[in-house]
Amino acid sequence: MTATTTPDRADVRSWLPGFLALAAIWGSSFLFIKVGIEELHPLHLTLYRVATGALTLLVVLAVLRDRLPREPRVWAHLFVVAAFGVAVPFTLFGFGEQRVESMLAGIWNATTPLIVLPLAVLVFRTERLTARRAVGLGLGFLGVLVVLGVWEGVGGAHFTGQLMCLGAAACYGVAIPYQKKFIAGSSYSGLSLSAAQLLVAALQLAVVAPLVAGAPPMPTGLSVEVVASVLALGALGTGLAFVINLRNIRVAGASTASTVTYLIPVFAVLVGAVVLDERLNWHQPVGALIVLLGVAVAQGLLGRRTPTPVSAGTPAVPAAEPATR
């Protein structure tokens, strides 16, 4: 970049490889969940991936000589964010993918910004509702109905699985504005907050998982594919992805980096179709496009030179967002 170049106008060659890599990593998470639940209870899968992710970020934290938060108030808020931003949604996606295709779970994940906005406006009061945002929400809601295919009737395991995935996105919708209101203004780095968040979520799951699903199986009893999926979800999808995302924000700017949200469902569909040979009904990708259009309108990404950052549920966005997808 030159001295007069702002991050959001940086040379595309400097950030595009990392941008695409991040979308591929997060979009592939739904494939790894699908593989993992073949042998693991969703709670056990979530416990293993979160523990792996926490360990990864703690190592990065030590290497960079950063530290975990020390204030009890911050840890109290992190307990809430860990539950709604990690433990519950990760588990819901696992249960959901027992009933629906991985690519469909990736599509539902894209509804997160549409859930964040009304909660941020009505509950946490960190945003205000404008006509543009109202139109975006309306489009997004229409897209949700199209994805569900409500004209075909509701009910059954497939519909239940979709509701579980939507519930996971709704959890992100709670965690993101909550963290923005109560934690984002703290003096701790995004790495520190995300590592602490995953550590708390791992402890939550270590208590709940054995009570609900019994003792988790030993990794030595799992197939290579499942172990690899757990490592990919934890170490790759959280650790490496976090580092990549921080670089993207630094080089490309927060607004540009946040638009990775739009590519995540694309990669989820691609890997689901190529690797798992999954297929979608015609209305599901159509509904997904309407949802993404609604998000773009609500976030002011159409017809503006400098877009408003998108709140993605996902993953490892410092300070204002949950640690990972």
Give pLDDT tens digits for 232-275.
999 999 778 888 887 888 887 776 777 788 889 999 999 999 99
Give pLDDT tens digits for 71-84.
999 999 999 999 99
Confidence of residue 311 (pLDDT cuts 50, 70, 90): very low
In the predicted model, is pLDDT for residue 154 greater than 70?
Answer: no
- 187 alpha-carbon distance from chain centroid: 24
Give CA–CA dist 19/24, Å, rounded.
9
Cα pseudo-dihedral 287, 293, 296, 301, rounded to 10 = 160
pLDDT at residue 106, as a whole number: 93
Scanning the chain, the segments in alpha helix (DSSP H) are 12-36, 42-63, 72-82, 88-97, 102-109, 112-122, 131-148, 156-182, 190-213, 224-231, 241-252, 254-258, 264-275, 283-298
Q: What percent of the chain has pLDDT over 70?
A: 88
Its pTM stands at 0.87
**Who contacts 4 (Cβ-Cβ below 8 Å, separation ≥6)?**
none
Give pLDDT tens digits for 194-230.
999 999 999 999 999 999 999 999 999 999 999 999 9
Give CA–CA dist 238/323, Å, rounded.
7
Give CA–CA dist 302/300, Å, rounded.
6
Q: What Cα–Cα distance (Å) separates residue 288 from each residue in 22, 92, 170, 264, 294?
A: 20, 20, 16, 12, 10
DSSP 252-307: H-HHHHHGGGGTHHHHHHHHHHHHS-----THHHHHHHHHHHHHHHHTT-SS-SSP
The stretch 59-79 carries a mean pLDDT of 95
pLDDT at residue 304, as a whole number: 54
Q: What is the DSSP letter of 64?
A: T
In the predicted model, is pLDDT for residue 1 greater than 50?
Answer: no
pLDDT at residue 15, as a whole number: 83
In the predicted model, is pLDDT for residue 184 greater than 90?
Answer: no
Confidence of residue 303 (pLDDT cuts 50, 70, 90): low
pLDDT at residue 9, as a whole number: 52
Give CA–CA dist 94/168, Å, rounded.
10
